[in-house]
Amino acid sequence: MLNPSDALDAFEIGGIQGILFDIDETLVDLKTASIAGFKQMVHADFAGLGGQEIDLIARDFANDRVGAYDRYMAGELTFLGQRVLRLTYAYEQAGLKPPRHEEFEAWADAYELKVRAGWKPFPDVLPFLNQLDELAIPYGAVSNNVEEYQRGKLVAAGIPGFEVVVGSDTAGAPKPDKAPFISGCLALGTEPAKTLYIGDNPLTDYQGAVDAGLQSLLLDRGSTHRNFAGHRIENFNQFASFYVENPGFFAELA
């Protein structure tokens, strides 16, 4: 069986010119940082709740069960507004009154500091990027967040090498619109049909990339999309076996 470097060498055979990544839950373990930050912030207020209940509420907050971030991307809410909506829902789940309106901004600022302190790459990320560097395969990122914020996140998480970062603000539209993907290819200097996009969301990442003319691979870290019909891996360590089991994936680009 090929080792990861052998699989990555095969990019040239198949015609792949570069790779674009999603950032949150693909490169950076944002969910773990969000849950930890939330628990620290509500520790005193939620003291009367059981541990399992707090865990559930924290996961719902991190997973944005109310869909607030999508509304932020659609221009319906500010960045602060989407956090306020998620926080309000969390306190309602706990049966408690949320912070007063004038306290929201201070809460969000303190929460942001705690989350930033928890930004870390998934364990398989740096080894995979190192292999790309060794093979001189260019890569970049396309994210549904502000470019400057996401550049800072990559640096803070200890993920170097990303000269190309496209945010929803710089592309003029969020994923799954074609614009961010095409902007990423232009910045990377690659043809869309010979660019691989890797992300964790079946709609905004995988299908969005396909619709924009890129090759696409779903990174399903939580194994929640086992019946997904497209190309799928559960971590970057599976990339070698994925290539062996799907020999036509890159060959069709030649």
Q: What percent of the chain lies above the pLDDT cut of 70?
A: 89
| Domain end among 98, 118, 138 | 118
CA distances from 63 to 22, 35, 139, 189 (A): 17, 9, 27, 34
In this predicted structure, what is the pLDDT of residue 132? 87
Q: Which residue has the higher pLDDT, 132 or 54?
A: 54
Predicted TM-score of the model (pTM): 0.88
Provide CB contacts within 8 A for 12, sequence distance 6+: none
Query: Do 181 and 113 have their domain in common?
Result: no
In this predicted structure, what is the pLDDT of residue 252? 43
Task: Return the number of other C-beta atoms located less than 10 Å from residue 101's C-beta.
Answer: 8
Query: Do 23 and 127 have their domain in common?
Result: yes
Query: Do 76 and 187 have their domain in common?
Result: no
| Distance between CA atoms of residues 88 and 223, nearest Å | 30
Q: What is the radius of gyration, based on Cα positions, of the chain?
A: 19
| Domain end among 70, 101, 118 | 118
In this predicted structure, what is the pLDDT of residue 1? 34
Query: Do 148 and 92 have their domain in common?
Result: no
Q: Count the domains in the chain.
A: 2
Query: Do 51 and 102 have their domain in common?
Result: yes
Please check the confidence at residue 71 and state whether its pLDDT lies above 50: yes
Q: Which residues pair with 142 in a beta bridge?
A: 166
In this predicted structure, what is the pLDDT of residue 10? 46
Query: Do 192 and 166 have their domain in common?
Result: yes
Please check the confidence at residue 246 and state whether its pLDDT lies above 80: no
Query: Do 97 and 128 have their domain in common?
Result: no
In this predicted structure, what is the pLDDT of residue 249? 55
Query: Do 91 and 201 have their domain in common?
Result: no
Query: Do 190 and 86 have their domain in common?
Result: no
Which structural domain, as residue segments, surrounds residue 239? 4-29+120-251
Query: Do 145 and 20 have their domain in common?
Result: yes
| Domain end among 81, 98, 118 | 118
Overall average pLDDT of the 95-121 stretch? 94
In this predicted structure, what is the pLDDT of residue 62? 96
Quickly state the pLDDT bin for 251 (edges 50, 70, 90). Answer: very low
Give pLDDT tens digits for 185-199: 999 999 999 999 999
Please check the confidence at residue 254 and state whether its pLDDT lies above 80: no
* CATH code where residue 243 lies: 3.40.50.1000
